[in-house]
Copies of this chain bind each other. A is one copy, B any other.
Amino acid sequence: MADKTVKIGLVGLGTVGCGVAKILLEDCDYIKARTGIKLELTRIVDVDTEKQRPIKLPAGILTNDLNALLNDKDIQIGIELVGGTKISKDIQLKMLAAGKDVITANKALLAEHGNELYAAAHKADKCIAFEASCAGGIPIISAIRTGLAGNRIKAIYGIVNGTCNYILTNMTSKNESFRAALKQAQEKGYAEADPTLDIGGGDSAHKLAILSSISFGCEILPEDIFVEGIENTDISDIRYGGEMGYTLKLLAIGQRTDEGKIFLRVHPSFVASESALARVDGPFNAVSIFGHAVGQTMFYGRGAGMMPTASAVVADIIDVAMGNSKKLFKHLTLEPRSKTACYISKIDELVSRFYIRLRVSDKPGVFAQICTILAKHEISLSGVLQHEEHNTNNVVPAIVITHQTQQKKITAALADFEKLEIVKSKPVCIRIVDIPQDSD
């Protein structure tokens, strides 16, 4: 195999785009020595060709005309880093039609329209590579599809949204309110001005859809995933959970039973404070994958940012340029649900432990009433916490930890609690996630 040159076009010169351009311009020789391929960035397309950017580009490379990229037959790989789900989809389809392999970091687009795009790529005999779509610099797509390829994947537990993890870490370590921690994240550039997609859990759901699709081998859409965000997180629950040995994280969880039942969910989760995921702090991401042969693995790194995400895009460029991505992409058989034996479970079927906090009147017989309702729904207690409080309104928090039970029983119990005269506000309920111990 003689050394070869592969020409590359990039659409979207934002933060990550600049990072990708920087690596391609500065490390071209280094990559060639390791792969035998000279990567040549020959065209960059962006609507704004005037803006000052943190890198120096070769003269004439930047244009606002997408056709300059599409019509250049020498460009083999097109990178879409525009974001959003409308224009970006059009750009990807046009690049495929123009005979280019596509690389993208666009999790929202792939989660919502992946199968349409994958079909277009298969039809054009091209591939779409998307390492950068999940968990930034962590090579998690590659790990699932190649490094763990001999495994039947049983479960994924991921901290895949750096914004939420930054906020929850600050709430936990600095005893800050959600609002204060969000404001700080925005000031630090870790949260958008409109943070809805992050704090509402939607971004994590997009990533879980992609990770679970490739892990479990069937089409998974964002609407298949039960989603709760962190926007209503009260600092008191982080404190009380901490006292009981738990740390609050926004987890994206995909599980497949041996019978092919798939559980998919994103929600605030109490995990044991001594577990590895509990200790993933700040803007970092981590994904723990359980395979039938390998047991527990965990992959840790930066989930966002200019250079970490660029690192993942460049890994894809190399893989596509070497022809390796395309072979695996051929077998990206994400069967439509109707054609597979896989069954997506409803959240009501979930069996979990739960943390429940009630604000109750401080008077005799309160715990008896709580316990009567739990008993009625066959929910068994595993822990109780009630602090003495010296406030004036005679209302105190009562916290209950349950043994494993079904979500639908908890939902019914919560509705019953709300009807009690002694319960003074809507109960808070947080799932406790017991990550399996792969121990000896």
Contacts and interface: CB of A to CB of B under 8 A. Distances in A.
B310 A301 contact: no
B137 A294 contact: yes
A299 B279 CA distance: 15
Interface in A136-151: 137-139, 142-143, 145-151
B311 A302 contact: no
Given A300-B300, A322-B327, A328-B322, A149 B36 contact: no
A297 B301 contact: yes
Given A1-B327, A283-B440, A294-B301, 9 more contacts: A33-B333, A34-B149, A142-B143, A147-B315, A293-B308, A295-B302, A295-B305, A295-B308, A322-B328
Interface stretch (A23-31, A81-89, A247-255, A349-357): A23-31
B27 A152 contact: yes
B300 A294 contact: no
A35 interface: yes
Contacts of A260: none
Contacts of A312: 147, 294
Given A34-B149, A293-B19, A293-B23, A300 B302 contact: no
Contacts of A143: 139, 142-143, 147
Top 3 nearest A-B pairs (CB, nearest first) are A139-B147, A150-B314, A137-B294
A439 to B, nearest CB: 7
B35 A328 contact: yes
Which one of A313, A317, A319 has the greatest number of beta carbons of chain B within 10 Å?
A319
Nearest to A19: B293
Interface of A: 1, 19, 23, 27, 30-31, 33-36, 131, 137-139, 142-143, 145-152, 188, 217, 276, 279, 282-283, 291-302, 305, 307-308, 310-315, 317-319, 322-324, 327-328, 330-331, 333, 438-440
B137 A142 contact: no
A328 B33 CA distance: 11
Given A293-B19, A307-B293, A322-B324, A148 B152 contact: no
Given A294-B301, A318-B146, A318-B150, A327 B331 contact: no
Contact of A295 (B145, B150, B301): B301
B137 A314 contact: no
26 contacts: A1-B330, A19-B293, A30-B152, A34-B145, A34-B217, A34-B331, A138-B297, A139-B148, A142-B146, A146-B318, A149-B318, A149-B319, A150-B313, A150-B318, A282-B440, A292-B307, A293-B307, A294-B311, A295-B305, A298-B299, A298-B301, A299-B299, A300-B300, A322-B324, A322-B328, A324-B327
A33 B217 contact: yes
Contacts of A292: 307
A149 B295 contact: no
Nearest to A141: B147
Which one of A1, A308, A439 has the greatest number of beta carbons of chain B within 10 Å?
A308
Contacts of A282: 439-440
B150 A142 contact: no
Which one of A23, A282, A440 has the greatest number of beta carbons of chain B within 10 Å?
A440
A142 B323 CA distance: 16
B314 A323 contact: no
Nearest to A323: B327
A301 B276 CA distance: 12
A310 B333 CA distance: 25
Contacts of A151: 311
Nearest to A24: B150
A319 B145 CA distance: 10
Contacts of A295: 137, 301-302, 305, 307-308
A150 B311 contact: yes
A36 B300 contact: no
